[in-house]
Structure 1
């Protein structure tokens, strides 16, 4: 009778988020659909993701041998925009485009067998505690939904007073895959810029093929002249009711100094501006990173605490908010 050995998975390192990958044009390759969907996600018919983090490393004990799998930038096809998976057992190392292939190829060479293991299992992606750790410091978790057969992937949100955009605003980013030149698949990336211009960039074979700029999403897609079955708001993704809700949550919360003693207001401001972007406890010699400084900058402006430094910009010591 064949012996079935238990599979023991441990997270060696959660890895890191990389802005240009997880929130850039090719971001939809760097998020994994969670197999552990919470009840509210199923009810709202939205898809919940967690990040595929660079340098995430897991250790799996299979048949009394240790296998480590690490996520790297660049895969077997030498595509530097996509994740790769490096699996190692003793002196045997393989890189693959997906974790299932990586672990299975190494296991095959170690034991001379065709046994295959699930990449989700080996990476710990079906483990609730590991997924929670991978999402622990994520400021925005990407979402997706289907527009007929087209998947709209939303990886940034923003608020504005534009009711004709369903209150989407600067910072909003989404993408979809569709056919372009020579009927080949292309990546269509939509953005709303700080000046409220709407941008659509089209990438094919990892090359930027076209950029269209317009005053609103509908004009942008009319100019392109593709997927005429849907309007620009739908193709940007801003019309979807779940995405509308996420955009509206980005409406900046503010208060006056007279409201600083109101714990409910201050807690809401803390949650909005600081909770997921800063360290809760600071040591005496703690060094702030740029992300944290920006978060504190936004928080202080929101509560009306700006232009309060008692020295001029010419002084040696400067703290500018």
Structure 2
């Protein structure tokens, strides 16, 4: 006995199977849904049913592949005819069969159960969160956009993916959220709290961390890190803030008592930056992240001279 009579054993064997074929009924025809893909363009979808072709009982095999709708007719295990076209209706017109039926219905794509299975499979394959390693997977990131941002922001998933890639490819792992998302909106748009909350939820879902070193009553600036280990970025932002370099709404002056009598803010900046470099626990890679925050605003000679490197 192999255990196939045991419902518990059957369920255990099916636990890791992400798709189980099923049947639907249309026009008094039982259609066997053999494959549902994990995408939104139906590429890889396959279904079949039995029907007579040239007076012989045949298997009608339908699939979507390479952007084409295909119908293959089998008799006694051999393919006797094949049709292809760019739509379900046009390919069924070629067969001269079931002329009173809609081709898209015969494929089964629009059936409520099939649509439900599409949605169920898609959501099951994609988690509601992802890691930084998934950022290169465009399909996962587009799903994240649809899950968290599509209802709240203008633009589309292509624009979102380009903006995210820009952050992924830049040297600094730190962004200020409002500056970062500005390209998503026109110049006159004022980001409301609902939109901002959606961005925060999305950033957390894709593996980012809020590293803002102050409360919102101090400033509405908000810093986020995409580093796998954000400890170095947290240290960097905290040091820059505590030494008065971050130009926030209520923190535009120097707070550190050590600089109380200092009038040369340029010297304060270089001192603060050196302190941040020395305090960073991540070695050279951490120092590179700090320098990348400000390097665009200074020449190579200035950095060499003032940091004494």
TM-score exceeds 0.5 = no
Q: TM-score, normalised by structure 1?
A: 0.38
Whose helix proportion is higher, 1 or 2? 2
TM-score normalized by structure 2? 0.39
- Give the structure with the higher percent strand: 1
Structure number with larger C-alpha Rg: 2
